[in-house]
Structure 1
Amino acid sequence: MKRILGIVIVALSIGQVQADALADRAKQIVNEKCYLCHGAEGESSSAIYPRLAGQHAEYIAKQLADFKAGRRKGTMNEMAADLTPEEMTALGNYFAAKPPQAHRVRDKEFEAVGAYLYHKGNSYSGVAACKSCHGEEGKGTHNLPRLAGQHKRYLVSQLQDFNKRARTNDNAVMHSIASKLTEFEIQALANYISGMN
């Protein structure tokens, strides 16, 4: 019994050492590459780059894998080119552990339009409520991104890319939804979502 307990303790210790090494490697990658656009804490330096703080680890790892494989296009293709699957997972865990923030919304009436669309959709144009996939609070799932607190400009660009079919690596449902949104609705949704906690 003592021998089995000893083996379990050694195995756990080795596992912890490996986990610590991957966490250190993620921090190194963040300090070498990621921080320039996404910030060391996942709070992007520019509204054109997504906030990663609080994003689901699995979702981040999938996006990195899609960039590496060319399923998603952008400046991240080069950044992800030499990442291993373990490093992608470690980076996902790194940013998922960071506390997310929200923007202050200045135009409350415009925010109300976005809130309505997010929670109820638009039955007249066939736009589904965002909450049906991304959740009541915009926190998403491990397969669907956390939207709450994301930069307005980034949200707008992604909805426009889904509409133009420029972004094809994710849920095809987004193509249908984005194609039915007016520019007014896109801006209202981005305004509301950016202020969610």
Structure 2
Amino acid sequence: MFKRAFLISTLFMGTQSAFGADMDRAIEIVEEKCHLCHGTEGESSSAIYPRLAAQHEEYIAKQLADFQAGRRTGTMNEMAQDLTPDEMVALGKYFAAKPPLSHRVRDEEFAAVGQYLYMNGNKYSGVTACKTCHGDEGKGTQKLPRLAGQHKRYLADQLTEFHNRNRTNDNAVMHSIASKLTEMEIQALATYISGMK
């Protein structure tokens, strides 16, 4: 019995030690690179960069891998170039553990249009409700991004990228939805989602 307890304790301590080393490496990378655009807490320095705080760890790791492989294009291609798969996972865990924030919505009536679209879609144009994939609260899943509290500008930019088919990864489903959105609907959705907690 003592031998088994010792073995379990040793395995647990080894896992904790490996996790600590991974987090130490993630912190190094954040301080070297990520903080410039995304901030050390994942809150980003500008509305053109996504908030990473509370984003799903698997989603972050996948996006980093897609940038590295060129499946998604942008500034991050160069930033992700030297990351190992373990470092991508560690960065995902690091940012997923950070607390999320939301924006104060100034135009409640316009946000209500976005809320309606988010919850119900638009049956007249065939737009599917966002909640179908991203959930009622915009928290997403490990494979689908958390949207709640994301920067309005970033959300609108990504919907436009999907609409125009300029987003080079994850665009099959999102293009079919975003291509049916009007500019007003994109802005209304971005306004509503940015205020979700």
TM-score, normalised via structure 1 length: 0.98
Deviations 1:143-193 (A, max 9, x none): 100000000110011011111111131151100101000000000000000
Equivalent residue number for residue 145 of structure 1: 145
State how 1:147-186 maps to structure 2 within 5 Å: 147-186=147-186
SS of the residue 1:186 aligns to: helix
SS in 2 for 1:117: helix
* Percent identity for Structure 1 against Structure 2: 72
Distance 2:55 2:190 in 1: 17
> What is the root-mean-square deviation in Å for CA atoms of aligned residues?
0.9
**1:17-66 deviation per Cα after TM superposition (whole angstroms, max 9, x unaligned):** 11100011101110110000000000010000000001001100100010
Paired position in structure 2 for 1:71: 71
Please name the residue that 2:22 is paired with.
22
Structure-2 residue corresponding to 1:97: 97
Verify: 1:109 aligned to 2:112, yes or no. Answer: no
> Which letter maps to 1:138?
G
May I ask how many residue pairs the two structures share in their alignment? 197
Q: Take 1:46 and 1:103, find their aligned partners in 2: how far apart are those partners?
A: 13
CA distance in 2, matches of 1:142, 1:119: 21
CA distance in 1, matches of 2:3, 2:107: 66
Q: What is the CA–CA distance in structure 1 between the aligned matches of 2:125 and 2:168, rounded to whole Å?
A: 22
Question: What's 1:129 paired with?
Answer: 129
* Cα distance in 1 between the residues matched to 2:105 and 2:13: 47
The code of the aligned residue for 1:148 comes to A
Cα shift readout 1:63-97 (whole Å, capped 9, x = no counterpart): 00100111000000111111111111110011011
Structure 1 segments of 4 or more deviating over 3 A?
none
Give the TM-score normalised by structure 2.
Answer: 0.98
**Aligned partners of 2:57 and 2:93 also within 8 Å:** yes
Is residue 35 from structure 1 mapped to residue 35 from structure 2 by the alignment?
yes
